Amino acid sequence: MRTFLITIIIIQLYSCGKGKPPNIIYQKGDFWVDNFVNYNYPAKAFADDRIYCSSIIIGKDTANRFYCLNLRTGKVDWAVPVRSWAAQPPIICDSFIYYCSYVGDIYKFDKSGNQLWYLKFPSPYGGHSYNPLTKNLFVSTVDSGIREIDYQTGKIVDSIGYRIMHVPFPIFANDTIYQVIGDTISCRHVNDSYNWKIKVGENIDRLFKMNNRLYYVDDTKRMYCLNAKTGSTVWQSDTVFLKQPWGIHLEFEKRKLLCYFTDLNSVFVINNSSGSIEQKNDYKTLQKSGFLLPNTKQYIVSDMEKSYVVKVFNILDGASDLRNQFDISVEQTFYHH
């Protein structure tokens, strides 16, 4: 699934680049706002009033950069060379940053852009996540589970689901870890003592936790809700959810469970007590009722000649559970006299 999505991103980038101006290579201190080209940045993270993103120059990997773009000043705080561009956002932590390229170049930087370590991932890269308990990095392989990388040394220290395809990333909640491997969902304490394990259908590509419940869709294409403390089934949906290649997303808003796919053709509003479908609409209709509203932050910056409005907003008009993924729009407002 992750490999498929990365392939689609590459195809889109090639098509978006046709007829566009050449990619801009910024240097530290450059005023990036006046000639910002949004399509150059397929994966962005937004934190500390800054955008962290990679450039992409198809066929010219030596020109790739990892940028820290300051949204308050409109200038480049730093620009560091990386071996290849990213297809997923970097992970921004309190004092350091994880950057993973689409071919598995793994970096750890400090907040000033200094490289702390580098690892060439030995297996085909399929995505990355973060362990908030240990600060270690999780990197998914295409066909052989997940590797855990030590945040201090950059060395691979553990494997999860070795030689198993499509192992979802673990979910962390305080001192508890929820994990899907093969046909089993488990709940364990950080000290490795298991609270419970249950057998489920295979090919579960995502596990969700909201409040004290877990959710997943199994091979029967029905959604299941579990008690997160005991693993017991609370309900199973009365509707079949046809899996789509873009993957399933869940959000909990206004005491309603929302289920949709990344293509946003339809959104199911689910009764979280019974699993029954209360309504099905496109997301724009639901937005009129206050659901799936985008998160937007606005900045006004100036180069002393012109002023610009810079808006940072969720991708897909905000309709995604991936709330840490953002796009940018830049609009010139007026000239200074």
Distance CA 237, CA 222 (A): 6
Among the ranges given (19-28, 103-112, 163-172), the one the predictor scored with the smallest mean pLDDT: 19-28
Q: Among 41, 46, 44, which Cα is nearest to 20's?
A: 41
Element (DSSP H or E) covering residue 11: helix 2-17
Q: Phi/psi of residue 63, each to 5°? A: -95, 5
Comparing 283 with 57, which gets the higher pLDDT?
283
Q: How many of the other CB atoms lie within 10 Å of CB of 35?
A: 11
| Minimum mean pLDDT range among 6-20, 97-111, 117-131, 279-293 | 6-20
**Mean pLDDT score of the chain, rounded to an integer?**
82
The residue whose two tokens read 């993973």 is: 100
Most confident of 11-20, 138-147, 236-245, 281-290: 138-147
pLDDT for the residue 151? 95
What are the φ/ψ torsions at residue 283 (nearest 5 degrees)? -70, -30
| Block residue for tokens 């999860």 | 160
CA angle, 82 then 76 then 54, to 5°:
30
pLDDT for residue 22 is more than 60: no
CB-based contacts of 45, cutoff 8 Å, min separation 6? 51, 52, 53, 89, 90, 91, 92, 324, 326
In tens, the pLDDT along 86-126 reads 888 899 999 999 999 999 999 999 999 999 999 999 988 98
